Amino acid sequence: KNEVEQSPQNLTAQEGEFITINCSYSVGISALHWLQQHPGGGIVSLFMLSSGKKKHGRLIATINIQEKHSSLHITASHPRDSAVYICAVYGGATNKLIFGTGTLLAVQP
């Protein structure tokens, strides 16, 4: 079992829909990152969380440390949001960044 699990693995939405991507982890962490990866492109950091909630534009990230769970929300989704969204946690036995396998999001016009 992976230490970082994401759901769903694939998500197709219509433009304008509210989107939620979930991340669960099984190790103790000091920080959680949400990252975005476009096809053929590099990875961009969206958020770093250690507690609570952060908002940037149409993106909202929340974390519940007790439940070992985080969510990434996208409001008013747009085709340009189409990408792979990766959850990564800093911690575990090795105290390094551990990545989930990503959620492939496709937003259709």
Q: Does 102 bind other proteins (CB under 8 A)?
A: yes
Of 4, 23, 74, 83, which one interacts with other proteins (CB under 8 A)? Answer: 4
Q: Does 45 bind other proteins (CB under 8 A)?
A: yes
Using a 10 angstrom Cβ sphere, with 0-12 exposed, 13-18 middle and 19 or more buried, the burial of residue 99 is middle
Q: Looking at beta carbons only, is 17 or 82 nearer to other proteins?
A: 82
Q: Does 12 bind other proteins (CB under 8 A)?
A: no
Of 25, 83, 100, 107, which one interacts with other proteins (CB under 8 A)? Answer: 100
Q: How far is the CB of 62 from other proteins (least distance, A)?
A: 18
- Which residues of 1-109 form beta strands (DSSP E)? 4-7, 10-14, 19-25, 29-37, 43-49, 52-56, 59-64, 69-74, 83-91, 96-99, 103-108
Q: Does 90 bind other proteins (CB under 8 A)?
A: yes
Of 39, 42, 57, 109, which one interacts with other proteins (CB under 8 A)? Answer: 42
Cα distances from 28 to residues 11, 65, 67, 70, 82, in angstroms, run 28, 9, 11, 13, 30
Q: Looking at beta carbons only, is 13 or 104 nearer to other proteins?
A: 104
